[in-house]
Structure 1
């Protein structure tokens, strides 16, 4: 067990005092057997006039805030600490799911169905053809090996680059450009495995970058994104195509969703002219209390 601490600072700046619409935050991690939230604080400036918590359709904790004053700067600082329990992945799935293809059980299918439906256009089957390259023609393919190979192939075949623009590019753009952000790679993998009949969902959170691992993981210093794939008997298993991570090692899970747009860490509006906006800065620090992890 390791205690991971996250400081997430977002600052919006404007040329003159502006008003603010409602802002929506997804900063509070999901409690589970492999990560336990032990501390969470939020500092917002200017002080909100109203704040409330809700659970979204996926069970994520969402904070909604409103403001009644104008300001030239809007600052959100989230600090969290979680007990992190790395979950060793040995793909102890049910026997029927150890090789691909397999079918989900009738009692699971209605709940998994929304995560199996492809959400992005692939009119000529380009993405599906890419995914099927990792199958063994005419033979069953070990499920764990298939997903591990596909995860590694994304990290090795595409170039990671940060992008300041909001949003996520569609999978065909990622395939054709050969580059993208962690959110792009997560959506790409999610749609690729869905084309093979897997249930998959998008995960937003944070990445711890331990110096003991030598080269830095890609995506450190900002929010991070990866994928969960549902395997009967193993449940939702983490796959980070940006870094080739299988399982939850170094990953702090905040939100899960069917699509990336449903798991945006922070969103909102301001009331003013477009030219008033000077930009946004984001700083993320993930540290460990475990001396051996440094």
Structure 2
């Protein structure tokens, strides 16, 4: 049975005096696929703006927003209704050759996955690859799926989650050294570690549905981190099953609560919103972001 969600995402930038705005790149619209359908959309910008809708190289839906005139506040509000169609209850089987590590992608797959296989962050002393190898057994075969699950669970259980509003992402080595990070940092750490095990991964930006926001009650033993703002996780490409979601912030896999918006080979390419403004540096006051994801009651 499918589930419908209503999503409201508002971002407001505040300034002490009127400023002029440059072009803003907005990536808020959920990503249509066989398991997720966008039924209704609405984008509102204050002050008035010229808007163009495009698809980027990863086929993400991007709104190019050019506000008109000067203002002390820039507000961007997006509302969506989506329908999520659950996948099969049983996990999709992997190709026999990919069930255990190490495995090799086909020549055709490697041509398309090259940017997702190649590490993007340096590991000069091998600290990250040593960390990744901790999840491998030395006395028995290493199931590809189970290795990723162990890594996913370890990050959720052993690192300290810290929300950060500033742009950018910690490097994987910084996250390991600090023992803490945001959802973006967790996703990048697991992405880069899995790539060093020969697994193609990509960054995902989107939304997380928290049932407690609807019911007011948290399920026993369950804590959801990352709801109420944009969320980030990763997907790993496993031959036979395709792109599989892993959320190391909440130790989730294949979850219908994860709502995809944008995918990219690196977090810097999937920012929910980016842009420029022109005026005195001290004019900037701050930014407010509110995300509400609610299950629709038909």
What TM-score results when the alignment is normalised by the length of structure 2? Answer: 0.94
Q: Are 2:159 and 1:158 aligned?
A: yes
CA contact (8 A) 1:89 1:246 kept: no
Query: How is 1:41-52 mapped onto 2 (pairs within 5 angstroms)?
Result: 41-48=42-49, 50-52=50-52
Q: Are 2:290 and 1:289 aligned?
A: no
Counterpart CA distance in 2 for 1:278 and 1:89 is 50
Q: CA RMSD in A?
A: 1.3
Aligned match of 2:215? none
Q: What SS is found at the alignment partner of 1:213?
A: coil
Query: How is 1:1-294 mapped onto 2 (pairs within 5 angstroms)?
Result: 1-48=2-49, 50-87=50-87, 88=89, 90-137=91-138, 139-211=140-212, 213-214=219-220, 215-290=222-297
Runs of 4+ aligned residues of structure 1 deviating over 4 Å after TM superposition are: none
Counterpart CA distance in 2 for 1:200 and 1:280 is 31
Counterpart CA distance in 1 for 2:79 and 2:151 is 34
What TM-score results when the alignment is normalised by the length of structure 1? Answer: 0.96
> Residue by residue, what CA displacement relative to the aligned partner does 1:82-123 show, whole Å, maximum 9, x if unpaired?
101233462411111111111001111110111000001111
Unpaired segments ≥5 residues, structure 1: none
Counterpart CA distance in 2 for 1:82 and 1:129 is 41
Counterpart CA distance in 2 for 1:151 and 1:111 is 25
Q: Is 195-204 or 65-74 further displaced after alignment?
A: 65-74
Following superposition, the deviation at residue 140 of structure 1 comes to 2.2
Unpaired segments ≥5 residues, structure 2: 213-217
CA contact (8 A) 1:209 1:216 kept: no
Distance 1:143 1:290, change over 3 A: farther
> Residue by residue, what CA displacement relative to the aligned partner does 1:114-156 show, whole Å, maximum 9, x if unpaired?
1000001111111111111111115421111111111001101
Give the number of aligned pairs: 290
Following superposition, the deviation at residue 33 of structure 1 comes to 1.0
